[in-house]
Amino acid sequence: MSKISAAITAVGAYVPDYVLTNQILETMVDTNDEWITTRTGIKERRILKEDGKGTSYLAIKAAKDLISKKGINPKDIELVIVATATPDMKAASTAAFTASEIGATNAFSFDMDAACSSFLYGMSVASTYIESGRYKNVLLIGADKMSSLINYKDRATCIIFGDGAGAVLFEPTTEDLGLKDEYLRSDGSGREFLQATYGGSQHAMTQDALENGGHYAFQEGRTVFKNAVFNMADATVKILEKNNLDKDNVDWLAAHQANKRIIDATAQRIELDEEKVMINIHKYGNTTSATLPLLLNDYESQLKKGDNIIFAAFGGGFNWGAIYLKWAYNS
Ligand code: UT7
């Protein structure tokens, strides 16, 4: 029997309408467009402004976009995974709510969190379910309402993050397509450099913590930057070496959009031409779990069946890695 591989067969996406530009941020904190552009590559990001709407709102919109583009019946979806670092609430799964709202009433569902690597790790999980032969499709959604964790008086974080969601469908194939290999790693000694400390099980939310902004994301940017540059590039080199690939047979690099300088460093390490590097950080900023599927959505029309795509990500935890996938369709 031929080996079953997991192929991405559809993409969908959603970003909120409100555009938070560098010029608007200049009026909120001590920063400027020139600094943000040269240090990060970001010009604007999208923010979900409406009260009472959480990550599920973004996830549902992205999933519905995919469902209508692909023309599938949501009742046929077997598993819904929501990759997110900002679930709607504790204890109640965001994925369960999302699955019900999109009409995936025959699916089981769960959330998974590996900070900015959530979607990358989610690709590994989703494809393993398909490769097992037990499931015929998995809807993987990367969604984050990062604005819910951001202190808009902290210029170290508020200039970077944005809100958004993207979704992909994994289905089986026996062709030489789909997810080929992965290299995934974690190092928990990094968690002190990027975290939202209060409100989890270790540190309860207290009045004091709230007044001191303990519920907001804190980042020691320089340390995270150094680790991201080293590890994303290293993982990318490792996945290329393991699969006898080089710059000439890699068609695309889809790297987590945290900082344009980190993406450039990864591309330079493998000497990849600039036109093969997917970029949308300038318009969305860092949307955490949504950056990779938003890239696929933006570049979908340029992707060809058989294209070799290298995905790479790095995030809080620390968690990082790279995945090698062969694109499965022409759009
Ligand atoms: O996605 C999850 C993983 N996250 C990442 O990968 C993010 C990694 N980190 C970064 O992208 C960068 O470290 C930042 C964009 C967060 C910061 O850039 P940086 O080049 O590392 O800046 P820095 O923190 O070293 O600060 C350099 C200078 C400092 O001033 P002095 O001490 O040199 O006078 C900062 O106070 O820039 C100043 N600065 C700013 N100035 C204007 C820091 N933030 C700002 C700002 N606007 N927003």
Ligand 1 centre to CA of 70 (Å) is 41
pLDDT for position 117: 98
Domain assignments of the chain as residue spans, ordered by start: 5-176, 179-326
For residue range 20-36, list pLDDT tens digits in order: 999 999 999 999 999 99
Class of domain 5-176: alpha beta
Tell whether ligand 1 has an atom less than 6 A from the beta carbon of residue 170: no
List the catalytic residue out of 22, 231, 286, 319: 286
Select 179-326's CATH number: 1.10.287.3240, 3.40.50.720, 3.40.47.10, 3.40.190.10: 3.40.47.10
Q: What average pLDDT does range 240-259 have in this prediction? A: 97
Q: What average pLDDT does range 71-81 have in this prediction? A: 98
Tell whether ligand 1 has an atom less than 6 A from the beta carbon of residue 62: no
Q: What average pLDDT does range 40-50 have in this prediction? A: 97
Tell whether ligand 1 has an atom less than 6 A from the beta carbon of residue 231: no
Q: Is the pLDDT of residue 68 over 80?
A: yes
158 is catalytic: no
pLDDT for position 2: 82
286 is catalytic: yes
Tell whether ligand 1 has an atom less than 6 A from the beta carbon of residue 158: no
How many Cα atoms are found within 13 Å in the side-chain-facing hemisphere of 191?
A: 9
280 is catalytic: no
Percent of the chain with pLDDT over 90: 96
Q: What is the pTM of this model?
A: 0.97
- Closest-CA residue to 224 (of 261, 270, 268, 197): 261
Helix 94-101 vs helix 55-70: crossing angle, to nearest 10 = 40
Do the two domains 5-176 and 179-326 of this chain adopt the same fold?
yes
- The atom number, within ligand 1, closest to the CA of 221 reads 13
Q: What is the phi/psi pair of residue 159, to 5°?
A: -80, -15
Q: What average pLDDT does range 255-276 have in this prediction? A: 97
For residue range 163-208, list pLDDT tens digits in order: 999 999 999 999 999 999 999 999 999 999 999 999 899 998 899 9
Q: What average pLDDT does range 202-218 have in this prediction? A: 90
Q: Is the pLDDT of residue 283 over 90?
A: yes
The pLDDT confidence band at residue 214, using thresholds 50, 70 and 90, is confident
Burial class (CB in 10 A: 0-12, 13-18, 19+), 29: middle
The pLDDT confidence band at residue 1, using thresholds 50, 70 and 90, is low
Give, for 218, the enclosing helix (H) or strand (E): strand 218-219
pLDDT for position 116: 97
For residue range 304-326, list pLDDT tens digits in order: 999 999 999 999 999 999 999 99
